[in-house]
Amino acid sequence: MQAFGLMIGGRSVATSDHADVIDPATGAVVGRMPLASQVDLDAAVGAATAAFATWSVTSDAERKAACQAIASAIEAHADELARLLTLEQGKPLNGLGSRFEIGGALAWTRHTAELALPVEVLQDTPEGRVELQRKPIGVVGSITPWNWPVMIACWHIIPAVRTGNTVVIKPSPLTPLSTIRLVELMNTVLPPGVVNVVTGDGDIGAALAAHTGIAKVTFTGSTATGRKIMAGAADTLKRLTLELGGNDAGIVLPDADPKAIAEGLFWGAFINSGQTCAALKRLYVHDSLYDDVCRELTAYAAQIPLGNGLDERSVLGPVQNRMQFDIVSAYVEDARAKGGRVLIGGSPTAGPGNFYPLTLVADVDHGCKLVDHEQFGPALPIIRYGNVEEAIAKANDNPAGLGGSVWGRDLARARDVANRLECGSVWINRHGAVQPNAPFGGVKQSGIGVEFGAEGLKEFTTIQTVFC
């Protein structure tokens, strides 16, 4: 079984201790994660600090070319990365699985490589010229989750590198191997120390967030962990980008066509087996369409194959870890106990792997865990409503505010409802379709700052006003 190493200062660094990485489909060990020490973290931050001295003054053209070279390296090793990702994360190779994720990482890298932040002229008059320039911040600490580990690593690393920063990334201990391999590939085209990777448990992540050599932390994950990172960053007033948990609501308006929207609703909720921050997690359906939407969604879900991600016939895979599996199970049972009607799924079978069946629960409302909290798994509550004002109020009655959606044939009406949802992104007749040219981030307790596009690139810079 391969024991992976850290990547510090352009070279692989062995550790004395390792932890097993488990295939969630079989329970088998698929690799061994190096356990970094505080000494290793200090070395990684030191290597990134040394590299920043030269990388921060490289030309815009050099940074653009470097990011394009990273894209080429990802493309050349796409199959290798996809297989490693499936082994540790569980998502299927096909469909919206591992190959899709590697393709997304490639697309984001290529798009970000082409972005630029030119000098802005604020004033040019006889009284003087005023320019706004953007400068790199320093060493960026990246902490990534287990659900989309390769793509989110690129979301963090590429804009940081593109703007002249250096990086120390700490991936989730549940899915570290594909990120280690990604950083190894980056180091074949970047100067030593520009991107480094350390792995381990939550203690290393906390130490990274608090490290005095880190100038900015970018984190994707739960709101609870985001609070801890924010507290750890306070002593040094680090800049932060936090993309935190969501409990996205979707509202089906009375004029929607249940059969036409069933596929979009399903994938909005169940992409990556529901393990996506901006997945549809609460569905509000008007009383006049309620039974039809329940029937069409159930029929669509019934045809989706669930299985081992290495099997090309599988369309969705297991829940990545047992703790999340148990949360989904508990939330569904709580909904059932409170009168929820399970339309499909809800009863996992015995056997190896964390396979929780695709589950739809009707006749629930606020006051049960499946509605009030983020399930982050393959179970969707369907809530009946009588008028649109009620649906909007209930959709907004949650501390999360990442995404939301509205479904209906009258686009002007749908847009009016969408504008009243308290969330950072809102979609009409689809859900969760993020793209690299559109800023993405949360409001309320779903985060601070944005990612993607020029606005996301700015998050990795400081402003310097130059008076000439």
Q: Other CB atoms closer than 10 Å to residue 11's CB: what's the count?
A: 12
Tokens (6 digits) for 219? 């984190």
Tokens (6 digits) for 254? 């009375």
CA nearest neighbour of 244 among 463, 60, 402: 402
Is 67 an annotated catalytic residue?
Answer: no
- The single residue of 88, 101, 243, 374 carrying the catalytic annotation is 243
CA–chain centroid gap for 134, Å, is 26
CB–CB of 307/326 below 8 Å? Answer: no
Q: Where are the alpha helices (DSSP H) in 1-145?
A: 38-55, 60-76, 78-89, 98-114
Residues facing 463 on adjacent strands? 134
Residues 6 or more apart in contact with residue 369 via CB below 8 angstroms: 330, 331, 334, 335, 375
Matching residue, tokens 């000439």 = 468
Q: Other CB atoms closer than 10 Å to residue 450's CB: what's the count?
A: 19
Angle at 123 between CA 118 and CA 128, to 5 degrees: 120
Q: What share of the chain is helix, strand, coil (3-state, %, to 5)?
A: 40, 20, 40
Residue type, position 409, single letter: R
What length does the chain have?
Answer: 468
CB–CB of 281/374 below 8 Å? Answer: yes
- The single residue of 67, 154, 277, 423 carrying the catalytic annotation is 277
| 368 DSSP assignment | S
How many helices and strands (H and E) does the chain possess? 15, 20
Q: Which residues are catalytic?
A: 243, 277
